[in-house]
Amino acid sequence: MLYKITDWNDAYANGAHIPGADGYVRRWTDDAATFRDAHPPQPLGRGHLFLPEGQPQGLMVFIHGGYWMRFDPSAFSHLAAGALRAGWACAMPAYTLAPQARIAAMTAEVAGAVADAAARVPGPIALTGHSAGGHLATRMVCAGVLPDDVAARVTACVPISPLADLRPLMRTAMNDTLHLDASEAWAESPALQEPRPGIPVTTWVGGMERPEFIRQARLLADIWAGLGAETECVVDPGLHHFNVIDALARPDSPLMRRLLDQGLRQDG
């Protein structure tokens, strides 16, 4: 069947296609607050750094989504549970949202936060993020974004439901807030940039997500494979855009094993 988008706003609308979507946001906020009460974080700029008991085995970085316009790390603290139970630290960077910042500035801000966390936690670094945060996680493994000494420690990048090519977003009403132009959309699209060599990249997306998110996840894996990167696209059956991230809270989930096992093998 031919694939053609006729409504760009609907193509990138998630909540409208998820039953009880508002309940997920309330649950995230409540679960995150409960988790912080039990595991008080250290400050990471305006973000959070959660530390496990004992010496960390490495640093996992989770970057929140929200189309670069919504949320902050305080809504997602509970997703550090899987990392802490596996003995890893978890950094959750904050970044200035649109329209106060352009996406290029967010990329630089997140890179600075990752470098800050890396200076405080030794060992391998595993990068992940969700939706717009998946885009930012992937930008961290594009050539020239992270400092070389930090990038050399990155053992895996697993962007969840990532936005890899930003050009279609210029056709949505969101661009009234994002203010993407052709130049920035090209420069900030991971699929249009060179990946750093030697970092395995697995795009992870729910099988019940909007077709554009599945296409974007496959696009990045396919293009970067053609540029020499080790890639895979995992389509997780039965999951949608809001519950695909739940697996981050479980250290033994396939998502977490893909994210952390590379670092454990390298460290060993």
User: For residue 176, what are the CA distances in angstroms to 75, 99, 102, 168?
Assistant: 25, 9, 12, 14
Give the domains, in start order, of the chain with CATH numbers: 18-267 (3.40.50.1820)
Point out which residues pair with 154 in neighbouring strands.
Answer: 125
* Percent of the chain clearing pLDDT 70 (strictly above): 98
Which tokens hold the place of 40?
């008080």
Q: pTM of the prediction? A: 0.97
Spatial separation of the C-alpha atoms in residues 228 and 243, rounded to whole Å = 31
Which tokens hold the place of 189?
């699209």
Residue-wise pLDDT for 225-251, tens only, equals 999 999 999 999 999 999 999 999 999
Strands 125-130 and 89-92, by their bridges, are: unpaired
DSSP assigned state of 41: P
Residue 266 has pLDDT above 90, yes or no: no
Q: What is the mean pLDDT of residues 133-140?
A: 98
User: Going edge to edge, which strands form the sheet with 59-63?
Assistant: 42-44, 47-50, 89-92, 59-63, 125-130, 154-160, 201-206, 231-236
Which tokens hold the place of 164?
């890899």
Residue-wise pLDDT for 158-196, tens only, equals 999 999 999 999 999 999 999 999 999 999 999 999 999
